[in-house]
Amino acid sequence: MSTSAQPQPASANIDQLSINTIRTLAMDAVQQANSGHPGTPMAMAPVAYCLWQQFLRFDPDDPIWPNRDRFVLSIGHASMLLYSLLHLAKVKAVNPEYETLGELSVPLEDLKNFRQLDSKCPGHPEYRWTSGVETTTGPLGQGVASSVGMAIAAKWMAQHFNRPGFDMFDYAVYALAGDGCMMEGVSGEAASLAGHLKLSNLCWIYDNNHITIEGNTALAYSDDVATRFIGYGWNVTRVGDANDQEMLSRAFKVFKATTDRPTLIIVDSHIAYGAPNKQDTSAAHGEPLGEQEIRLTKLNYGWPEDAKFLVPDGVYERFEELMGQRGHELREAWIAKFGEYSREFPELANQLFKMQHRRLPDEWDRDIPFFPPDAKGLAGRDASGKVQNVIAQRVPWLIGGAADLAPSTKTRLTFDGAGDFGPANYAGRNFHFGIREHAMGSILNGMSTSKIRPFGSGFLIFSDYMRAPIRLSALMELPVIYIFTHDSIGVGEDGPTHQPVEQLISLRAIPGLTVLRPGDANEIAEAWRLIMEFRHQPVCLILSRQNMPTLDRTKYAPASGLAKGAYVLADALDGEPEVILIGTGSEVSLCVDAYEKLTAEGIKTRVVSMPSWELFDHQPKEYRDRVLPPDVRARVSVEQASTVGWQRYAYRSIGMNTFGASAPLKELQKKFGFTPDAVVAAAKEEIIKAVGR
């Protein structure tokens, strides 16, 4: 059925008609928006069409069916390719509660409003905004790197959940990449790990068109990509013409038949339109074709030259006949099989259901330890490792690892059966990401979109290598757990290259990311209790390398106050405080030591532990004003990090305004003013200044 009274193209080949529909929708949407990239969607339309119609196991009526194949558009600037496919396949929308709704994910009106406010077709594909988008892409390389996480998740879930006769997970992951993705270092990191792990369910399709924004890739790029990927341990095949449906089909069949390694399909293409022999690169650069060029191109396709957003008779039906019917049958069979599985393996079925809905097992937090008072205390990393191991035994899908630093970050799961993930044991729960921080972050995102609860760890200073995936975790509202240890100049002798200064404030600047820097072992236990309840937000858990005293909670306030982001830990003995000391992490105990000195001198002092700015800022104003009364004008923050941003809470900050230095910790604390006497002196000065405020 035609969507309008517009003249129909003169074509007897329904598949070619469908491919050209994808192309013309992309041209029209970009032209109407006067913004976007039509060239790559036009060039890759035959490739995507072949994959979606012949191979992709995806039910448009249920785009979050757990065992669906994943399609990742790593070249996110080609978003109109994906939006056109989602529209033509009539993919349904899904709400945040994982309920499939009746309306289309991408109605035709949203295609017409491409790149406009509130359209389901933003400039780059956005996860949780447009159903059918498996991960947010745009920063090149992130999509292919995240696809490795999706493939890892499939392997792990297959080993954990599958039983003889019940293959609940065996999905494949396809990612469409371009020259830019291949140039970005993160794709190399991720491809190297994927080859090492022998992820045979992973297929990357490389659009080898030799074009980037500055022009031909020969300006800056001459890699032999095939040889490179063979070196990574991949199977590599090539299709010499992106329009050759037979060769494309053969390449995907080769992937399906390859059982011992991931596959790279190199597809040669060029961006061409208008006259048959014309080639131009402008459409790769975010520029519309122009009305005249669009008319010439449509004439070349046998298309009505003035028709806009035309979906010819038979195209919707062709998608329903091939992808729609195949996906529906596969999903229905899976749902029926899950019913049998639930009767045969009720405990596993319950786990699967809860994992897919981001819920926690009953009594998951039953054995979280309480740490007794201890002046010597525990390093933050050690306390966290103890708590994490307890929780992981009750939440089987809490899995992850480190960028070669698990012995230092204390994130290894050590209980019986935890094991190491790898080709010999895809059920292992400890991951060795290697020295690949950037790829680790992207892979965690891919794992999380598959509903696993992943964690990844490293030193806080190396969070700089992971900015892009951490930011995307927040943008996608994924509950990824980033664990960063060695959180301050407390690293000591390693010196300023390893001592984070600006990293805390840079992470706090990311919208939607919760940063937690607990002050003792019991705050760390409460942090984990809080983190595990998150369903739609990532967290950075910031931990010390050095010991922190475990505070006496019969004398000071309960650590459960952490859930509010900041709480009164110790208060003035009589009446309103004259001065408030605000600390995070290892500096909380420093504030407590200063509090005891000030109190002994008769100075009314309050200590506020503030492990999370974000959580505190979300509390009602009444609570915030109780913790930090506006009329108490003497406030001192103490944190071994940049003082930027503390002006929101304190009038004076003891912190870092330079890089650190290489020396034993106690010498560094004295040099930079992190001693009880220095805090006491600052508090007294602020009390005097407050009179004039």
SS3 letters across 644-676: CCHHHCCCEEEEECCCCCCCCHHHHHHHHCCCH
How confident is the model over 199-231, as pLDDT tens digits?
999 999 999 988 888 888 889 989 999 999 999
> How many domains is the chain built from?
3
Amino acid at 96: P
Q: What is the pLDDT of residue 426?
A: 98
Whether residues 119 and 158 fall in one domain? yes
Whether residues 215 and 312 fall in one domain? yes
CA gyration radius, the chain:
28
Whether residues 294 and 164 fall in one domain? yes
Q: Is residue 347 part of a domain?
A: no
Q: Is residue 96 part of a domain?
A: yes
Task: Name the nearest CA neighbour of 152 among 553, 420, 340.
Answer: 420
Q: Is residue 5 part of a domain?
A: no
Residues recognised as catalytic: 437
Q: What is the pLDDT of residue 11?
A: 62
- Where is the domain boundary, 548, 580, 595? 548
Whether residues 62 and 152 fall in one domain? yes
As beta bridge partners, residue 473 has none
Are 540 and 516 contacting, i.e. CB atoms less than 8 angstroms apart?
yes
Q: What is the pLDDT of residue 273?
A: 47
Q: Is residue 652 part of a domain?
A: yes
Whether residues 285 and 407 fall in one domain? no
Q: What is the DSSP string of 391-412?
A: HHHH-TTEEEEESS-HHHHT--
Q: Is residue 350 part of a domain?
A: no
Whether residues 90 and 217 fall in one domain? yes
Strand, coil or helix: 94: strand
Q: Is residue 176 part of a domain?
A: yes
Q: What is the pLDDT of residue 7?
A: 76
pTM of the model: 0.95
Are 507 and 482 contacting, i.e. CB atoms less than 8 angstroms apart?
no
For 582, other C-beta atoms within 10 Å of its C-beta total 25
Q: What is the pLDDT of residue 34?
A: 94
Q: What is the DSSP string of 486-499?
A: S-SGGGGGG-TTTS
Tokens at 46, concatenated: 């035959």
Q: What is the pLDDT of residue 41?
A: 95
Whether residues 429 and 569 fall in one domain? no
E strands, 74-160, are 92-94, 100-104
> Which CATH number goes with the domain that contains 675?
3.40.50.920
Are 112 and 26 contacting, i.e. CB atoms less than 8 angstroms apart?
no
Residue partners of 111: CB distance under 8 A and separation at least 6: 25, 28, 29, 80, 83, 84, 87, 121, 309
As beta bridge partners, residue 579 has 605
> Which CATH number goes with the domain that contains 544?
3.40.50.970
How confident is the model over 309-361, as pLDDT tens digits?
999 999 999 999 999 999 999 999 999 999 999 999 999 999 999 999 999 99
Whether residues 624 and 686 fall in one domain? yes
Whether residues 136 and 168 fall in one domain? yes
Whether residues 513 and 662 fall in one domain? no
Are 478 and 448 contacting, i.e. CB atoms less than 8 angstroms apart?
yes
Amino acid at 589: S
- Where is the domain boundary, 524, 548, 572? 548
Q: Is residue 226 part of a domain?
A: yes
- For the chain, which ranges sit under pLDDT 70? 1-5, 10-12, 271-286, 693
Phi and psi, residue 267, nearest 5°: -115, 120
Range of the domain at 426: 374-548
Q: What is the pLDDT of residue 212?
A: 84
Whether residues 583 and 538 fall in one domain? no
Q: What is the pLDDT of residue 140?
A: 97
Euclidean distance between CA atoms 123 and 302, whole angstroms = 29
Q: Is residue 384 part of a domain?
A: yes
- Where is the domain boundary, 514, 548, 582? 548
Whether residues 89 and 230 fall in one domain? yes
